[in-house]
Amino acid sequence: MNSIATLTEFLESGGLRVDISDMGRRIVAIPRAAFIQFEQTETAYPYPLQQQAWFALTLADPKQPQLDPMIWFIRFPLDEQAKLMLAARDEMMHLLVESLGGKPNRDGMESALENNPYAFQPKQERLALFHARLTRALNQPASRFYDHARAYYEGELGWDQWSFIGYQGIADLAARLDQDGNALRIANSIPALPPSPLEALCHCLESEITPDSIAKALVLRAVSTLQQEAPNPQLVTAAVRGLARSRSGAIRDGLIRQLLDHPLSRRSDILAAIAGRAWEVLEDAPLRQRYLERLAENEAGQDFFNGILSDLLYLPRHGAPCRAACVTPIALHT
């Protein structure tokens, strides 16, 4: 145990293969080497959210490939540089050693996180996204809801039949954009989708690299909405989230730039979607400055402003620019 310095190494000492995924801002894989550097406090956590690292550990036994992997959901507090607070990680390892003994084994690990203060249970929507990406990575079939979701977004069932679509099927659809003609199917459906199924789709797309066909369709839908006398903020927020990982950053950034010049951008849900899901757009200095100005004019008040700004300061590559932008204080408009 003295030679084991990280949680990853401790779990691997029992012969397990460990894969890491972020569960906070996005459901995306984190390379093992990058996570080890984080555990050794050499680097910041890449996707901090609410001053914590939220991640999943997928634990597989190479000697028993027929068994489904175990999944641990862990969160660790971060310091002001978004680096790991070692005391938390060490406390968790101590609890695991007490529960499992000197070396982890599958038999004891099913209940190892019971009453553990660093374990958490993701929301059902996040679990659906994680499951869709995991089955895709393991070359396992999609859920039984997949075919029904494909039929709906093809337009075969009628757009008013969205309430019968399982969320897991939508997540499976988004995780398989390069299969079964799904990218084209989704792009063609976006102009006609009611707000609720469009929102559900975009929440699933936010963790996926979306092709230009989908990005352009989302932009056209959002721009059309913004031009209405009473634009639906649900549609605009959904589009921002669906464009978060657009293959073309220029398409995504163009919409957000246009959105920040619209009165609707004072809404807290839209501002939170930009900072929480599409934060890369804020690497552009003029766009970042405009965003901070709109954040200062938000409808929710000072606490919301403080919370979003604090969250941005924890993000790698965003902390220093945001601090610099706020050297001249941005006053909250009321």
Please report, for the chain, the start and end positions of each structural domain, with discontinuous segments joined by +: 7-109
Q: Pick out the chain residues at pLDDT < 50.
A: 1, 329, 331-334
Determine the pLDDT at residue 325.
65
User: Which of 261, 315, 263 has the alpha carbon at shortest distance from 287?
Assistant: 261
CA 285 – CA 106 distance, rounded (Å): 49
User: Which of 43, 60, 40, 48 has the alpha carbon at shortest distance from 23?
Assistant: 48
Determine the pLDDT at residue 326.
64
Determine the pLDDT at residue 176.
97
Q: What are phi and psi of 66, to 5 degrees?
A: -75, -15
Determine the pLDDT at residue 102.
67
Helix (H, G, I), strand (E, B) or coil at 18: strand
Q: What long-range pairs does 105-112 form, CB within 8 A, spacing at least 24?
A: 105/14, 106/14, 106/16, 106/61, 106/64, 106/67, 106/70, 109/59, 109/70, 110/70
CA 97 – CA 100 distance, rounded (Å): 5
CA 231 from chain center: how many Å? 26
Helix (H, G, I), strand (E, B) or coil at 95: helix
Structure tokens at 139: 């070359």
Determine the pLDDT at residue 327.
53
Fill in the amino acid letter for 194.
Answer: P
Per-residue burial over 114-146, b if 16 or more Cβ lie within 10 Å, else e, is eeeebeeebeeebbbbbbbbbbbeeeeebbebb
Determine the pLDDT at residue 298.
96
Determine the pLDDT at residue 224.
97
Q: Map tokens 């610099």 to a residue.
A: 324
Q: Map tokens 């293959």 to a residue.
A: 247
